[in-house]
Each structure stands twice: as structure tokens, then as C-alpha cells.
Structure 1
Amino acid sequence: MRIPFELAETVAAVVDEGTLDAAARRLHITPSAVSQRIKTLEEQLGRVVLVRSKPARATEAGVAIVRLARQAALLEHDTVAELGADADEGARTAVPLAVNADSLGTWFLAPLARLSQRHPVVFDLHRDDQDFTAGLLESGTVMGAVTSRATPVAGCRVSTLGAMRYEAVATPAFVERWVLGAAIAEALNAAPVVDFDRRDDLQNEWLRAMGATARPPRHFVPASNDFATAVRLGLGWALLPTFQSAEPLARGELVRLGGPPIDVPLHWQQWNLRSPLLDAIAEEIVAEGRRVLAPA
């Protein structure tokens, strides 16, 4: 069986854009042509590749087709570059990557900026917790990911980046209100805490290490820079990456609550596909991670 690239590309476009209409605009064809391509591929495979929901999503068979489309686009880019041919004017290869919020908010964009100056690429970033980004690799949604997972995802290779170091901090006024004069574990049982979202277990891990037993009031602030701002404004205490806490600590705007810092090891995983572009992306990201992160 042969799968025409045009059909696989159409499935990927629908998954990326969320609707047939949006995919049609991206591909410069009509929505009915998109629908006909999907129908043709499904008849050829004997399987449904898309769930027609809003947004549209790939079935298990569709995930394999999307992965094929992304790999084919990557190989096409590498071949055009190797031949020294000029790409279509304005055309850039889309590279989907997954990254955790704290890396995205601190060190991750700098290597991408350098890469975009040397290669005709655009980056489609998917933000998720480092414990979950590997799932986006498994589904074929992204080509590479910053992840806490050291074991390679099937069909991927892994490189160690380093560790993101976190320290528990709060404003001096917050500490004076909630902590002074009280045993630290007792105070932490009542002092409001800032969590990124309901999957963020970092603060709970530190609370357990400090001997706190209750579940204190929580604010949820699901954006890295806004999360740090919430702590600096005294909304609650939290663990911040040293990237974000060093300057406020030096200025006296924040103080450490004590206790052990928490290091979160980070790894770079990408498809095990020999591609000069993908290798260049990995080289830049891994070098930056090892330069700025704590030793794993």
C-alpha cells in the first residue's frame, strides 16, 4: 500500500488547524477538496483517520498518518537544502515541539531564535508539564520535547539537559504575616500557596519534605511569568525556578522560606530520524540547556 503524501499532509493540516475550513485555507484548496481527500484516504486504508469533532482530532490510525506527514515534510526540507535548491518564496518548514512552561518562560526561546536565523523554519510550540510532554511525542503531535522522562519514547532518542532548580520563596510581608512566630510546618498548613494548575505537585512535594500535613488554600495561575508575578505580589508562596527568583531575592523583594531546593531533571527527546534540521535543533537546544541548567 502506498499513502500519497498529499493525503497525509491534509490529515496533518486538519489536526493542526482544528477544522476542515481552516485546513483548506492553509492548503489553498476548498473545504470540499479537504473532505474528499480525507474520504479517499479512509477508503484506501479501510480505517477512519479523523474524529469530526471541534476541534477535529486524529484516531489511532490518524496519529500514524500525521507522524508520516511530519516526517515526510522534514525529509523534504533536508533534501531541498542538500540539493542547494531554493525553497518556495516565504515557505518555511513547521517544526512542532513540546516544552514545559518554566523552560518556555526562561531559557528555551533563545536557541529557537538562533535557529530561526539560520534555517527556514517556524516553530509550533506545545506547552505542557514536563511529566506529560513525552505523550505528545508518542502521539506524533511533536517532533521533539523537553521532558522529565529519561527513558526514550519508542522511536525516539534522548539527551540529558540538566536540572531546573526550584526554591520556596515569598515576599517579606507574606512571611511576616504567615510564618513569623510560628513553627514552619504549622504555618505552612495555613499559608496560601500558588500552584500552576491542578497537576502541579511541586509545592506538595516540598510541603511533605517540610513536615506539613494539611492542605493549605491554593491559587491556580497557569502561566509561568504570571505565576512568578503572583508570588512577587504576595498572593502566596511557591517554588520558583532560580532563573525567576534570583533578581527579586537580590533586591529583597522575595525571601527564601528555607527547606531543601527541588531539582527537576530535564531531558531532550526527539524522533530517532536522521535529519540535518532535526539534528541542528537538538544540538542548539541541548547546548543551551547544559549551559544554563544545573547539573543533573
Structure 2
Amino acid sequence: MLDYPALAAVAAVVREGSFERAAAALAITPSAVSQRVRGLEERLGAILIIRSQPCEATELGRSLCAHLDRVRLLEHDLAPTLGSIAAGAGERLTLPLAVNADSLATWFPAAAAAFGRVAQVSLDLALDDEAHTATRLRAGEVLAAVTAEREPVQGCRTIPLGALRYAACASPDFDARYFPAGVTAAALETAPCLRFDRRDFLQARWARAALGTETLGPVHWVPSTHGFLDMTRVGLGWGMHPTVMVEDHLAAGRLVELVPAQRVDVPLYWTVIRLQTRALRQLTEAVCAAAGAVLSR
């Protein structure tokens, strides 16, 4: 049988990043946190936390934290029946999720708000590229994820949400400076573009589909969805934007679309652990409803 108070200390250190902050979250002393963690490590004969800045879980530590997340979900459903004798009674449940930045900037807030209205549960959102959020699910870091992967994840179910549609946009001044004769492959090689991070290949995907080339000009790295839009509006470079974010700007002439007929759809999926609990069911319903109102089918 696992020592759940000790495991809760491990999870708190991983979540908070230090023994001191974990102690504050658990309302105990840092020494007590250290003793609980050390005691569990000695009992299991394995290191669970890498003492770094911030502290990180080992592979076994991550697996145990994921197990604790599942136990807490099940206990959350039992709490109304068990009352004060329930383990962790009075402790607010937290659901760790992985979401891509563009979803968080467009449709996901509506899902979170709808969930918040029906469940007394906190969300702990981890931001990652939609092509990599499922990796966090496989590692046991989260219980559900918005992902671009349609391949099944062991122990999870995958629900299609629809596609987030993107348009290649630039400011009118930028368009006039770099594409005076229209958008061509040669012009694209000199025009600065914006990329979210080193894993963002959406601009190259658009260029291949629109012009048959993946050769792009100089790159500005802008790891923020709203910053991406702001940098495009002021003319730093051209970039790919969710159409729901730029429709008003295009209509008002603050942005122009480089090739209006050429847009890119990124299919998204909701992948969630196969655990029949009320909180996960409510969250899944909220996510599917919010995505259905915005994403393309």
C-alpha cells in the first residue's frame, strides 16, 4: 500500500517546484515535506525527485504523481457520500491539462468557463505545441490534452474536435513593401516571417501548398499567440493566424491575406484518460461544446 500523504508531498514538490513552496501549499513545514519524500524514496528504494531548480520528478516519480491524480479523481466522486471521512476532504481537486497556445487564445477559454460553472475543480494548464501535447499525456504529466495527434494513446480515448483554420496575413504596409507584384516564391524568400517556436512549421506548410516552395525569408521568433498578431499588425513580418482572430482585422483593412484562397486547417482532438469520473465527463462535454462552436468541421 502506498503512503498517500508522502505521495501527496512528492506531487506538491513537483507541482510547486521546490520543497518550500510545497510546504506552503500543504500547510506543513519544509522539514515535514522533506521527511515524507525521503521516507517514500527509502521505502521504494528509488529516487522520485531530482533536487534541482526547479525540482523535477524522475520517471517513477511522474508515474506515481499520475497515479495520485487518478486516485484523487475517484475520491472526488466519492466525497459527497463519504463526507468528512473521505481522504483529502476539503482539498480542492486540480486537473492537469495540456493545451496548445492558439486554442487557449481562441476557443478553449469558453470551455474552461463552462466547466467552472458546473464543477468546483481547478485547472492546471500546461502550454505546448499541439503536435507535442500528447507526449505530456503519455508521460503521465496531464490527464487530458488538446492535440493534433489522432493516433490513440494507451489508456485514453480520443475525440475529434474539428479543425482550427489559419490564414497567412501581413500588414498592408508590409504587403506593399515585400509583395508589390504579388506573392511569389521569389518574393517569399526575402520577406521576413514570424514563427512561434522551432517546432512551428505552419508557415512552410502554407508556402508549399500555396506556391510550391518551403524556402522562407528571415525569421522572427514570437512565442505568444497575441504577440504574434501584434507583431504582424505593426509590420514585423507575415505569419499564420487562426482565422477567428483575424477576421475583424481583415474586414477593417488592418491586415491583408497573402493568398485569400489558400488556408490551412489543423485538425484538433481531445484525448482524455479512460476514467469514468464526473469531473472528466463535465470537462469533456464543455470542451466538445466550445470547440464545436468555433472549429471547422
Task: Provide the TM-score with structure 1 as the length reference.
Answer: 0.94
> What's the CA shift for 1:27?
0.6
Amino acid at match of 2:252: R
> What's the CA shift for 1:48?
1.1
Compared CA separation, residues 103 and 86, structure 1 to 2 (3 A): farther
Compared CA separation, residues 17 and 203, structure 1 to 2 (3 A): same
The residue matched to 1:190 in structure 2 has which SS? coil
Q: Deviations over 1:46-87 (max 9, x none)?
A: 111111111111111111110111111111211114557799
**Residue number in structure 2 paired with 1:62:** 61
The ranges of structure 1 where at least 4 consecutive aligned residues each deviate by more than 4 angstroms after the TM superposition are 82-91
Within 5 A, what are the aligned runs for 1:216-295?
Answer: 216-258=217-259, 260-295=262-297
Residue ranges of structure 2 left out of the alignment (5+ in a row): none
Compared CA separation, residues 80 and 68, structure 1 to 2 (3 A): same
The residue matched to 1:94 in structure 2 has which SS? strand
Q: Is the 8 A contact 1:5 1:72 kept in 2?
A: no
The residue matched to 1:129 in structure 2 has which SS? coil
Q: Is the 8 A contact 2:121 2:279 kept in 1?
A: no
Q: What percentage of residue pairs aligned between the two structures are identical? A: 44
* Distance in 1 separating the partners of 2:6 and 2:94: 17
The residue matched to 2:116 in structure 1 has which SS? helix
RMSD of aligned residue pairs (Cα, Å): 1.9
Q: Deviations over 1:229-277 (max 9, x none)?
A: 1111111111110111111011111111116211100000111111111
Compared CA separation, residues 116 and 82, structure 1 to 2 (3 A): farther
Work out the number of aligned pairs and report it: 294
The residue matched to 1:3 in structure 2 has which SS? coil
* Distance in 2 separating the partners of 1:106 and 1:216: 28
Residue ranges of structure 1 left out of the alignment (5+ in a row): none
* Distance in 2 separating the partners of 1:95 and 1:68: 13
* Distance in 2 separating the partners of 1:84 and 1:213: 60
Task: Provide the TM-score with structure 2 as the length reference.
Answer: 0.94
**Residue number in structure 2 paired with 1:78:** 77
Q: Is the 8 A contact 1:98 1:125 kept in 2?
A: yes
Q: Deviations over 1:84-133 (max 9, x none)?
A: 77999974211111100000001101121121122111111111100011
